[in-house]
Structure 1
Amino acid sequence: MSKQIRLGILTPSSNTALEPLTFQIVSSIPNVSVHFSRFPVTGISLSPKGLAQFDHSVIMPAAQLLAHAEVDMIGWSGTAAGWMGFEGDEKLCEAITKATGIPATTSVLALNKALDIFKIKKLGLVTPYLDDVQERIVKNYNAIGIEVTSETERHLRVVKNTDVALIGEDVLETLVGQVVEGGAEAVSTFCTNLIAAHKVELWEAKFGVPVLDTVTTVTWDMLRQCGVDTKAIKGWGRIFQEA
């Protein structure tokens, strides 16, 4: 009998998309289960209140609760490092492992690994975020040599997180197409409350580039670090077959 693998996912409290999507992604692997722990997040902005939601002192208690379930891996399914800095996620993972003994990853760190594997230098960025949040994300990617330009980014200026999950697939598909037309070598649907992961394979076929959804990236990285052959996951994008 295959060893049972438990994945622990850190989840923003107002997120209504990532749990059902993550369950669906791993559903074809019988020995993998997914377990969630929430911490308070209600909106995305660069205000002191908005940034304080992602303080590690807020996130760590949720990680400790996942450790009670003796999960094999802890993943932060969120994108705050995009505007707060990638090193923040690196430090969070270190803190989680130090406190629990469990390895950790995040949506953004996993995305960056995938960009390296696919050798992407020009990224299409589709998000629901405000102008200043988007500017921070673009700046952080440009700083690590991943080019994002006005032609390869689109954002929808949404603050309230529950409203993000209401953004239609047709809207997202239009934006994905626009950034590909602008020259993107790959596209990230960059927010784990976007209901997008299940459309990735269709968009990859339609637009001809990898589409790296941030619900998908953290799940992919957790599985691979747990020794799971991700090629068993069909219908959720090239990342599982090629990365």
Structure 2
Amino acid sequence: MKRVLLGMLTPSSNTALEPLTSAMLSGLPEVSAHFGRFRVTEISLQPQALGQFDMAPILEAARLLADAHVDVIAWNGTSSGWLGFEADVALCQLIEQETGVRCCTSVLALNEIMEKTQRKRFGLVTPYLDDVQAAIVANYARSGFECVAERHLNRSVNFSFSEVEPTQIVQMAHEAAEARPQCLTTFCTNLRAAQLAPALEAALGLPVYDTVSTAVWKSLRLCGVDTRRVKGWGSVFDGEMA
């Protein structure tokens, strides 16, 4: 059986996405995930925080992943939510030009799913600061999506996002769902949220798209792997977009 190697660009202080990604892939013996880090410690709109997402360090991490002959490189992060989606488009183009490896991102994959399923009224759950959350909502509005409800924790230290208890994420999701969105997204790859999707979908009666899951979903699709083989992680893998 031919191996499928997924490269994942990872914020340096993220401790959630690696175990979540590996768990999602545990039932696919030929697929493995490989991680390359670059420094990200703070999420805010301050210059020093925005500068963490300059292309140079991300591209260097991508080059190192390419040394492992990965089949795809995914930016498993949500920075284009506040930087603008064009930042992810440009990043993918640059990585593909520099490495020859196909590239995708959590956010562009999420947008693809919401676009193709015509679920443009969404609920947004994040740990981010007020102004970061507002920037995300505004970016989506400019692209024709309507955030009908949101919950956020007003935090900026990236490591702290992984310490948010899943019970709190569930509460935030239920509160956002009261506005009857067409779907809900847990929008941060350092939240321990992806595993909550099946139970939330059953309780709320709507799709829940986690941004770690969307990165894995798109990576598998680019590699020709049937996403329906990923069991127990929600409708993103076995629903309309399978």
**Given the two structures, how large is their TM-score scaled by the length of structure 2?**
0.98
Q: Match for residue 3 of structure 2?
A: 4
Q: Match for residue 164 of structure 2?
A: 167
Equivalent of residue 207 in structure 1, options 204, 211, 221: 204
In 2, Cα distance between equivalents of 1:117 and 1:241: 15
Matches within 5 A, 1:62-101: 62-101=61-100
In 1, Cα distance between equivalents of 2:123 and 2:31: 31
Identity of aligned residues (%): 50
Q: Match for residue 126 of structure 1?
A: 125
Q: Match for residue 16 of structure 2?
A: 17
**Given the two structures, how large is their TM-score scaled by the length of structure 1?**
0.98
In 2, Cα distance between equivalents of 1:189 and 1:36: 21
Is 1:176 aligned to 2:173, yes or no? yes
Q: Match for residue 147 of structure 1?
A: 146
User: Which amino acid in the other structure matches residue 20 of structure 1?
Assistant: P
In 1, Cα distance between equivalents of 2:222 and 2:58: 22
Deviations 1:147-199 (A, max 9, x none): 013xx111100111111111111111111111111121101000000000011
Deviations 1:111-149 (A, max 9, x none): 001112321121100000001000000001111111013
User: Which amino acid in the other structure matches residue 96 of structure 2?
Assistant: T
In 2, Cα distance between equivalents of 1:44 and 1:96: 23
In 1, Cα distance between equivalents of 2:145 and 2:180: 13
Runs of 4 or more above 6 Å deviation:
none
Deviations 1:62-96 (A, max 9, x none): 00000000000000000000000000000000000
Give unmatched runs, 5+ long, in structure 2: none
Q: Match for residue 39 of structure 2?
A: 40
Structure 2 residue matching 1:125: 3-state secondary structure: strand
Q: Match for residue 188 of structure 2?
A: 191
Equivalent of residue 232 in structure 1, options 216, 229, 234: 229
Equivalent of residue 238 in structure 2, options 233, 238, 241: 241
Q: Match for residue 53 of structure 1?
A: 52
User: Which amino acid in the other structure matches residue 197 of structure 2?
Assistant: V
User: Which amino acid in the other structure matches residue 224 of structure 1?
Assistant: R
In 1, Cα distance between equivalents of 2:236 and 2:58: 27
In 1, Cα distance between equivalents of 2:36 and 2:212: 15
Structure 2 residue matching 1:119: 3-state secondary structure: coil
**Offset of 1:15 from its aligned partner?**
0.1
The answer to which of 136-145 and 114-123 deviates more is 114-123
User: Which amino acid in the other structure matches residue 111 of structure 1?
Assistant: L
Deviations 1:28-71 (A, max 9, x none): 01100110000000010000000000011121000000000000
